[in-house]
């Protein structure tokens, strides 16, 4: 027993030492791009992004990232490294694009907003990424900016999509309410990672299908929109509590506990290099995440003072202030749930905590835009288990997948039974 306690204390000391080292003397970015939700882009921003993406296809960067993702697929999924690995992938792709336009950034797609009818999202319209593939043309897409591309990895081919629902539909996935619950109830990094990976991460890949269900999924720009969004959720969780910022636990693919000094596969970086946005090469942020107070006080790019510069975004939300929280149609409904349901799924709501990073409900700008107040809403769809082929491809433990999906189903069933009508339906 004494030996176990000593080992635990030694491990804790090592982890604290790693965090202390990681938080000291990090080079700060002098310039940030602000990643925005794709539907919030103005025409000039989207035209600029599409122009840069075309150049990245032509110069081989598109195929390069698909290759890196494929070669490191087995170690980059189903383990703690999922989030830092994909953060590096998207950021290095973004850096490559900034050689063509320094204002280039990778937008995110808040896919949870479209959970009930994903195929009906504006993201799948010709103005954005286009829609489903044509089953009579080898599932090649015929709309969207990638419609005429010849992708080079693993061999020349068109971009294929095959929505997983009947009649060009996509099966429902996970709601903003459930994403908020994951952020609030995940008491460690690896619990957060697993909850995200086994729910919304897989559901979006599977929903779009074809290219997105392969190891070379970065061939579809939907991959970047999706993983930018998952990274946004991680940054929200990191800034929800000071102790979350450098939290990193779980298992290595080779066995044994992870470390902030572990290498990031496919890149000459370590995990600590990507942990904090606004530092080292992570010179970007998100338009709806409030940085921790000490980051704002320490780093001019977050405070907007001194030499700090945000090149495509205005003032970020202030810590401790959640716009529209008390008048929000969503939180007013959530408050009406039974106490034990709030206790289990929304502890921040129970505690009256209005830290914006604990919620993923689009309070600041989208409630009016989405006309949520005028929607009657409706009951949420119960999510499904992913197919066995997906589970086997990632070498997931099926029991853990079932546990994650069952928890999400219990969430939906409890809220539906208590009369909750999601305004996102």
Minimal CA–CA distance to 276: which of 262, 254, 306, 296? Answer: 296
* Cβ 216 vs Cβ 154: under 8 Å: yes
Tokens 């809220």 sit on residue: 415
Establish whether the linkage from the previous residue to 154 is cis, with ω within 30° of 0: yes
As a three-state string, the secondary structure of 169-186 is CCCCCCCHHHHHHHHHHC
Report pTM: 0.92
As beta bridge partners, residue 28 has 279
Minimal CA–CA distance to 115: which of 178, 50, 48, 69? Answer: 178
Query: Which phi and psi angles does 289 have, rounded to 5°?
Result: -110, 130
Q: Which two tokens stand for residue 299?
A: 């780093």
* Cβ 133 vs Cβ 210: under 8 Å: yes
Q: What is the pLDDT of residue 2?
A: 43
* Cβ 174 vs Cβ 205: under 8 Å: no
> How many whole angstroms from its chain centre is CA 359?
14
Could you tell me the residue ranges of all domains in the chain? 2-417
Report in angstroms the alpha-carbon separations of 309 from 93, 280, 302.
Answer: 21, 15, 8
Report in angstroms the alpha-carbon separations of 199 from 24, 240, 259, 387.
Answer: 35, 21, 25, 13
Q: Which two tokens stand for residue 121?
A: 């999202």
Dist CA 178 CA 336 (whole Å): 16
Minimal CA–CA distance to 383: which of 164, 172, 168, 166? Answer: 172
- The DSSP 8-state label assigned to residue 199 in this structure reads I
Report in angstroms the alpha-carbon separations of 251 from 79, 200, 269, 400, 418.
Answer: 6, 21, 19, 15, 38
Q: How would you write the pLDDT of the chain (425 residues) with one tens digit per residue?
A: 444 444 444 444 444 444 444 455 799 999 999 999 999 999 999 999 999 999 999 999 999 999 999 999 999 999 999 999 999 999 999 999 999 999 999 999 999 999 999 999 999 999 999 999 999 999 999 999 999 999 999 999 999 999 999 999 999 999 999 999 999 999 999 999 999 999 999 999 999 999 999 999 999 999 999 999 999 999 999 999 999 999 999 999 999 999 999 999 999 999 999 999 999 999 999 999 999 999 999 999 887 765 556 677 655 555 555 555 556 778 888 999 999 999 999 999 999 888 889 999 875 454 445 555 455 689 999 999 999 999 999 999 999 999 999 999 999 999 999 999 999 99
Q: Which two tokens stand for residue 15?
A: 């982890």
* Cβ 317 vs Cβ 288: under 8 Å: yes
- The DSSP 8-state label assigned to residue 252 in this structure reads -
* Other CB atoms within 10 Å distance of the CB of residue 20: 10
List the CATH code of the domain at 2-417: 1.10.1280.10
């Amino acid at each position: 027993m004494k030996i176990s306690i000593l080992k635990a204390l030694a491990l804790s000391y090592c982890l604290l030492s790693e965090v202390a080292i990681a938080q000291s003397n990090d080079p700060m970015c002098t310039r940030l791009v602000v990643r925005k939700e794709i539907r919030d882009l103005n025409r000039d921003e989207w035209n600029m992004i599409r122009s840069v993406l075309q150049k990245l296809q032509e110069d081989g960067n598109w195929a390069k990232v698909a290759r890196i993702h494929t070669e490191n697929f087995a170690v980059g999924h189903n383990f703690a490294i999922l989030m830092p690995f994909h953060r590096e992938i998207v950021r290095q792709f973004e850096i490559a694009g900034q050689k063509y336009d320094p204002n280039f950034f990778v937008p995110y797609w808040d896919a949870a907003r479209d959970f009930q009818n994903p195929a009906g999202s504006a993201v799948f319209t010709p103005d954005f990424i286009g829609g489903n593939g044509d089953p009579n043309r080898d599932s090649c897409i015929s709309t969207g900016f990638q419609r005429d591309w010849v992708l080079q990895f693993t061999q020349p081919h068109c971009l294929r999509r095959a929505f997983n629902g009947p009649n060009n539909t996509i099966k429902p996935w996970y709601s903003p309410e459930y994403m908020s619950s994951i952020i609030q109830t995940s008491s460690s990094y690896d619990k957060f990672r697993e909850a995200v990976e086994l729910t919304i991460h897989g559901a979006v890949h599977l929903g779009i299908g074809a290219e997105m269900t392969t190891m070379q999924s970065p061939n579809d720009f939907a991959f970047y929109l999706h993983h930018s969004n998952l990274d946004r959720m991680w940054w929200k969780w990191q800034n929800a509590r000071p102790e979350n910022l450098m939290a990193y636990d779980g298992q290595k693919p080779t066995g044994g506990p992870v470390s902030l000094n572990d290498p990031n596969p496919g890149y000459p970086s370590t995990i600590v290099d990507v942990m904090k946005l606004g530092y080292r090469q992570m010179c970007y942020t998100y338009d709806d995440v409030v940085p921790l107070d000490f980051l704002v006080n320490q780093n001019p790019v977050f405070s907007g003072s001194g030499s700090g510069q945000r090149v495509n975004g205005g003032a970020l939300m202030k810590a401790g202030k959640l716009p529209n929280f008390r008048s929000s149609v969503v939180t007013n409904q959530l408050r009406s749930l039974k106490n034990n349901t709030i206790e289990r799924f929304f502890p921040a709501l129970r505690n009256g905590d209005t830290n914006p990073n604990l919620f993923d409900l689009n309070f600041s700008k989208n409630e009016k835009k989405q006309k949520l107040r005028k929607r009657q809403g409706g009951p949420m769809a119960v999510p499904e288990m992913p197919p066995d082929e997906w589970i086997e491809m990632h070498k997931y433990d099926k029991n853990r997948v079932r546990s994650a999906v069952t928890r999400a189903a219990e969430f939906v069933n409890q809220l539906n039974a208590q009369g909750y009508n999601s305004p996102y339906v």
